[in-house]
Amino acid sequence: MYCPKCSQQQSAEGVRYCSKCGFTLAGVAQLIDSNGALPEPVSVSKPASRNRMMLESSILMVIGWLITLKAMFWFDAHGPFEGIAKITALVFAILGLIGLLRFLYAFLFVKDVVQVTPENLNAHRPGDFLKERPAAALPEHQSAGISDYPIRSRTKEIVPRSSVTENTTKLLDQ
């Protein structure tokens, strides 16, 4: 397969990004497999987010317990209303308890899910990290050199040490 952007031949068919320009090749492989027709989008049910689940649970809990309290006022009614009030209070108390347990489950265990969209997939390609350089962690060097330190003079004129025989010969000549 060749990259449609830079015409670089890819070494393997399962490559997800172009090795030269970093272009996403996953969609290109799907187009080639389906003879150029765009595949139908698959509808994926969106998982419930944590905040939404907690909101629904708290509404269920509050409504269940409010109706339970309202039904408890009918406990003194005589006749068929007393039995209906007790059954209603029991049912809505259980619904309130289910709402409380669902709220606790959402609070403790449900994590917010990041939706994967084509915009998210193309947001960061390999090599983008080279373009986006973060600011330096340390400030620029701001100290000045030490002015009292003696400056070494004539550094280019350092002569290599003479050999032992030459030094001995000079001493014997004197």
Q: Which residues of 112-126 are buried (b: 16+ CB within 10 A; e: fewer)?
A: eeeeeeeeeeeeeee
Per-residue pLDDT reduced to its tens digit, 115-138: 666 655 555 555 555 555 556 566
Q: Does the pLDDT at position 143 exceed 90?
A: no
Per-residue pLDDT reduced to its tens digit, 78-92: 778 888 888 989 999
CB atoms within 10 A of CB 61: 19
Calculate what percentage of the chain has a pLDDT beyond 70. Answer: 64
Position 142 scores a pLDDT of 66
Q: Does the pLDDT at position 39 exceed 70?
A: no
Output the pTM of the full model: 0.40
Most confident of 3-17, 18-32, 35-49, 98-112: 98-112
CB atoms within 10 A of CB 132: 7
